Structure 1
Amino acid sequence: MEFDVKSGSPAKQRSACIVVAVFEPRKLSAAGEEIDAASAGYLASILRRGDIEGKPGQTLMLHSVPNTLCDRVLLVGCGKERELNESQYRRIISKVVATLQETGSMEAVCFLPELNVKNRDLRWKVRHAVEAASETLYNFDQLKSKKDAARRPLRKLVFNVPARSDLAEGEKAIAEALAVAEGVKFARDLTNLPGNICHPTYLAERAQEMAKANKPLKTTIIDETELKKMGAGAFVAVSQGSDQPGKLIVMEYSGGKNGDAPIVLVGKGITFDTGGISIKPSDGMDEMKFDMGGAASVFGTMTAVLKLALPINVIAVVAAAENMPSGKATRPGDVVTTLSGQTVEILNTDAEGRLVLCDAMTYVERFDPDVVIDIATLTGACVIALGHHTSGLMSNHNPLANDLLEAGETAGDRAWRLPIYDEYQEQLDSNFADMSNLGGRPAGAITAACFLSRFAKKFHWAHLDIAGTAWKSGKAKGATGRPVPLLTQYLLDRAGSKKRKSA
């Protein structure tokens, strides 16, 4: 799929299709009015007949509009003009792209970025149009013997901007959007793969392939035997139940200056989670292939970083393991020693994500990080708290938390901060070890973060619980690629801040 920007009159566009907006009640956008004037009131006559009211998502395809150079004009409803917001804008773009794909319009010129979206500039509108289009066209058919390909798929989408002076800004927006879209696609593809294909060894191989293809990237794989020798007892307690050995995957991107403290991303990579001895119910267990969504988002974000060649140092660490029941598996009540030397009583083997993450977080201390962000499909409690629209955020550093929240708002990939007050720590008390891995039902997402906070004393840290946002269930079952947009925006902001300071 190709994206571009241009500036010109809608009536003079030689294209398979021109896309213009209609607001409620039956009001044409500025681009629509230009076409209407050129066609001697053709569009206005259609609106008067009531063929389209302008409600959000309504569409009407017109053919051979008089005195235009395009084959078709697609009218799309955008609701009330003053109420057009970010999420509605993205939904409308998605509807447009789906309609173009279905109707065989292989290329189109879209005038929607000229609309007024509350508190958003042109660069934001072009970027999010590209991201929404890419998301709409995503299709995971790698494992199907017969591909459901469109007969005349949409191949090129051009976004019109108000003036030629806006073209450079539009091109920057497309470059950023394509990087995010590529990262999201990679994350979705990885997460959608089943556990018999996407296991820890597979993830390690993909990381090595990335390093071979990109000079600024160095990949190191630490296998289960070495982890055990290092003293990563919590990690090994999870991976030892599987015939597929666990891996700690370390990808180091050197885009900044030597000596600049790196930003570290740590992803939970449980490639399949049975729950271990504390086995899950069978209903819906197939979705536990999605339990490596945090790891996939780290892969996706690194893909975006490489494409954008950001001038910062980023280290991605993936804690990859299968959580399986076997004669070698950890038992409830077992006590293990973490890489930090702290001991943990494992009350429930299905609270395994925090066990691989805590040793990964201790491991990254050696990099003297600027900040550490872990990403994990960690708790069902976060789904109960925030549903499927918002990721949970917990942090020991207010500036980091605020930066992530702001990046999420800009990226349309929002998070909400939850507290990790000291009072919650008491729920992790154990009679037999320094702590347990379970805090009980109350505030389950918070106590999981409190557990991780005990391994984040030496750096600024944030935790993203994406259990509710990493994938969808039901008819639309599949990975979302979140929070790649949030993380990429955070890194873009950090790179921009570094440029301003050095200027």
Structure 2
Amino acid sequence: MTLQFSLQSDAPETTDTPCAIVGVYENGTLSSAAARIDSASGGAIKRRIEAGDVSGKVGNTQVLFDLSGVTAKRVLAVGLGAEKSFDAARFKRACTEAARAVTKLTVKQAASWLSELNVPGRDSAWRVRTAALATDHVAYRYGATVKPAALSLEAIAFAGDSTAQAGLDQAAGIAEGVRHARELGNLPPNICTPKYLGEQAKAFAEAHEGVEAEVLEPEQMAELGMHSLLAVGRGSANPPRLVVLKWNGGKDGDKPYVLVGKGVTFDSGGISLKPGPGMEEMKFDMCGAAGMLGTFTAAVKMKLAVNLVCVVPSVENMPDGDSYRPSDVVTTMSGQTVEVLNTDAEGRLILCDALTYAQRFEPKALVDAATLTGACVIALGKHASAIMSKHDDLAEELLAAGEETLDRAWRMPLWDEYQSQLESGFADFANIGGKPAGAITAACFLSRFAEGQRWAHIDIAGTAWDDGRKGLATGRPVSLLSQWLIEQSAK
């Protein structure tokens, strides 16, 4: 079920809704909507605050039932923290916690006045879009292979006038892209194989005017010289695919933006086998591909005025008698040779051929995303993705898009001094550079296949999925890249 968004401009105290959502600051300060409901109900909210039932601490929620003088059957009071400290991040958190609370209620509809709050530096379109995306993220239920958790909420209206419509329209498109990325990431690897990704791409193209799909088989990749990509998939019974999607939303002749996503549908580590505990999470090793496919979906749904190409190299990395092994030397599509020192550093070995392939489209900008290195998780944790690029302008565009959407990233260096760690005595270079600066040397490896391109690499190893046995794919960096493409389409 897709959650429906709308705008509404009615007064909070007279709106007929199963649940009205309003904000309360610390120290008993009420938001405008909360103050109106409090006045209409003869001070009911303030009395609950004084009794300690309602807290203004960030993210705290309390449901108030059947307030006299108020049409809504329930009022959900959401804590906003100190008013002087209220900012974009706290706004998103308040919207997220409000969504968690309302989706636990047995209501099919709700109306939120959080989108009326004053967020420094943000307009009404941003507030509505952020609130809608936060709500949709919470409302997502995985149900492909298990009965999904119950969700009664079908629609939510946000306070806002016509100036917020653009934000709501963007939210609908981005939300669909995020859901698509999350669903692909969450699927088990016996379903979400390289072949499955190709089939999904073809189905999407058939259903959407202006979209073209091409799926390369192993034989076609061999003819192109993609021996690095093919080596990674040799140990699997599921043959590799190279998935290519094109969206012709821009002017004829305009160079496209090209997105490349790592699509390792399951990563055992190959001969360099991973430890057993936690290996089940390696179904998420295709979240770079999922994120790029989700971004492509969002761009098409928003009908962005850009030409866009999405390239997904997809393999399964398994141990087998025919698996590639440490000390093998593989020849990439670019003609450069690579000494394999670790078969678990496989993502870069499929991305390098995809980056070479992507150059045939003469990209206006080339961006890849991958769950590439555990070193990135150590460096940045679960909150920020890493961006590495030699192009300051492109890096700044992506970082700014992350700040705008709160799908944040942090730039790490890509200096030539790190390249020496990849030196090899048996090939042009090796596929790993040792433990120091592992995320950076992985990007250094990729940079050798993006020479002459306006290129950036996004490592989402820490941000692509949530921790724990029940952790779900997050859909990042769909919001960041969607915002970046929105800005490019406006130029």
Which of 50, 54, 63 aligns to 2:52? It is 50
Structure 2 CA distance for aligned equivalents of residues 35 and 232 of structure 1 = 64
Matches within 5 A, 1:222-237: 222-237=216-231
Structure 2 CA distance for aligned equivalents of residues 426 and 45 of structure 1 = 67
Structure 2 counterpart of 1:366, one-letter code: R
TM-score (norm 1): 0.95
- Cα shift at 1:38: 2.1
Which of 4, 12, 16 aligns to 1:2? It is 4
Structure 1 CA distance for aligned equivalents of residues 213 and 4 of structure 2 = 31
User: Hey, what does 1:342 align to over in structure 2?
Assistant: 336
1:365/1:458 contact within 8 Å kept: no
User: Hey, what does 1:143 align to over in structure 2?
Assistant: 145
SS of 2:52's equivalent? coil
1:259 aligns with 2:253: yes
Matches within 5 A, 1:52-91: 52-91=54-93
User: Hey, what does 2:480 align to over in structure 1?
Assistant: 486
Structure 2 counterpart of 1:160, one-letter code: A
1:129 aligns with 2:131: yes
Structure 1 CA distance for aligned equivalents of residues 46 and 466 of structure 2 = 41
Q: For 1:243-278, what per-residue CA distance to the aligned partner results, in whole angstroms no more than 9, with x for missing partners?
A: 211111111111111110110000100011111111
Structure 2: unaligned runs, 5 residues or longer: none
- Cα shift at 1:103: 2.2
User: Hey, what does 2:14 align to over in structure 1?
Assistant: 12
2:142/2:148 contact within 8 Å kept: no
2:4/2:156 contact within 8 Å kept: yes
In the alignment of these two chains, the number of paired residues is 489
Q: For 1:81-120, what per-residue CA distance to the aligned partner results, in whole angstroms no more than 9, with x for missing partners?
A: 1112222222211221222222223222211111122322
1:394/1:462 contact within 8 Å kept: yes
Structure 2 counterpart of 1:471, one-letter code: W
2:261/2:288 contact within 8 Å kept: yes
- Cα shift at 1:286: 0.7
The answer to which of 227-236 and 312-321 deviates more is 227-236
Q: 1:214 to 1:418 in 2, by over 3 A?
A: same
1:37 aligns with 2:31: no
1:351 aligns with 2:345: yes
Q: 1:484 to 1:147 in 2, by over 3 A?
A: closer
2:257/2:366 contact within 8 Å kept: yes
SS of 2:78's equivalent? strand
User: Hey, what does 1:410 align to over in structure 2?
Assistant: 404
User: Hey, what does 1:331 align to over in structure 2?
Assistant: 325
Task: Detail structure 1 runs of 4+ shifted over 4 Å in the superposition.
Answer: none
User: Hey, what does 1:110 align to over in structure 2?
Assistant: 112
User: Hey, what does 1:295 align to over in structure 2?
Assistant: 289
TM-score (norm 2): 0.97
Which of 275, 278, 283 aligns to 1:281? It is 275
Q: For 1:384-430, what per-residue CA distance to the aligned partner results, in whole angstroms no more than 9, with x for missing partners?
A: 11111100110121111110000011111111111111110000000
Matches within 5 A, 1:423-502: 423-474=417-468, 476-497=470-491
1:273/1:291 contact within 8 Å kept: yes
- Cα shift at 1:20: 1.5
Structure 1 CA distance for aligned equivalents of residues 71 and 378 of structure 2 = 53
Structure 1 counterpart of 2:156, one-letter code: L
2:422/2:429 contact within 8 Å kept: yes
- Cα shift at 1:39: 2.4
- Cα shift at 1:36: 2.1
Structure 2 counterpart of 1:321, one-letter code: V
Structure 2 CA distance for aligned equivalents of residues 88 and 139 of structure 1 = 24
2:55/2:61 contact within 8 Å kept: no
User: Hey, what does 1:500 align to over in structure 2?
Assistant: none
Q: For 1:278-319, what per-residue CA distance to the aligned partner results, in whole angstroms no more than 9, with x for missing partners?
A: 111111111111000000011101110110111110000000
Structure 1: unaligned runs, 5 residues or longer: 162-166, 498-503
The answer to which of 54-63 and 320-329 deviates more is 54-63
Q: For 1:201-241, what per-residue CA distance to the aligned partner results, in whole angstroms no more than 9, with x for missing partners?
A: 00000011011111211111111122112211111111112
Structure 2 CA distance for aligned equivalents of residues 26 and 58 of structure 1 = 13
1:100/1:106 contact within 8 Å kept: no
User: Hey, what does 1:164 align to over in structure 2?
Assistant: none
1:310 aligns with 2:304: yes
The answer to which of 199-208 and 466-475 deviates more is 466-475
